[in-house]
Amino acid sequence: MLDLRKIAHANMKSIVDWFGCFDAVAESINARWGAGASKGTISKKASGQLDWTLADVIALEDASGRYPVTRLMARRLESRVVVTDENLMVQAGSIAKESGEAISAILAAEQSSCANERVQAICEIDEAIYAMVQARTRLEAMPAEAQNEQP
């Protein structure tokens, strides 16, 4: 089983790297919530000595426009596949979008020596797989007469 805590930490480290320095990270959190973050605290969180809080995740994901931890948490529900009311055209569009993002992340990981890029690629691949599982579940749940209709 995947260690979600390690993956979440790697994702947060990737966001910290995107900001460029601990001061910028702390200021982004402080700007969002008013106070509570310092360069030293961010350094300890980035090194793994302290855990990231939900407030940290929200502030930094919103500030960076990247949501890897939120996506990771949403994927925890994957084993609970729910057939949505979305039609197959919408689901096909979702597959195309997620697959494109996965391809982009894979190419970025190939060009980088950074472990965070590999983690991001894995996350994007998982999202593409999830979109395909949803479409398959929808197809399997369709009534037999709807599957046999000819256009």
In this prediction, residue 148 carries a pLDDT of 56
Closest CA to 121 of 92, 145, 98: 98
In this prediction the pTM is: 0.55
Judged against a pLDDT cut of 60, whether residue 2 lies above it is answered with yes
Judged against a pLDDT cut of 60, whether residue 146 lies above it is answered with no
In this prediction, residue 15 carries a pLDDT of 94
In this prediction, residue 3 carries a pLDDT of 79
Q: Which helix H or strand E contains 10, and what residues bound it?
A: helix 4-19
Instruction: Give residue-wise pLDDT tens across range 23-66.
Output: 999 999 999 998 889 999 999 999 999 999 999 999 999 999 98
With contact defined as beta carbons under 8 Å apart, do 114 and 91 qualify?
A: no
In this prediction, residue 49 carries a pLDDT of 94
Judged against a pLDDT cut of 70, whether residue 114 lies above it is answered with yes
CA distance 63 to 31: 10
Confidence of residue 22 (pLDDT cuts 50, 70, 90): very high
Which pair of tokens denotes residue 64? 């960076």
CA distance 126 to 130: 6
Number of neighbouring beta carbons within 10 Å of residue 55: 13
Mean pLDDT of the region 68-83:
75
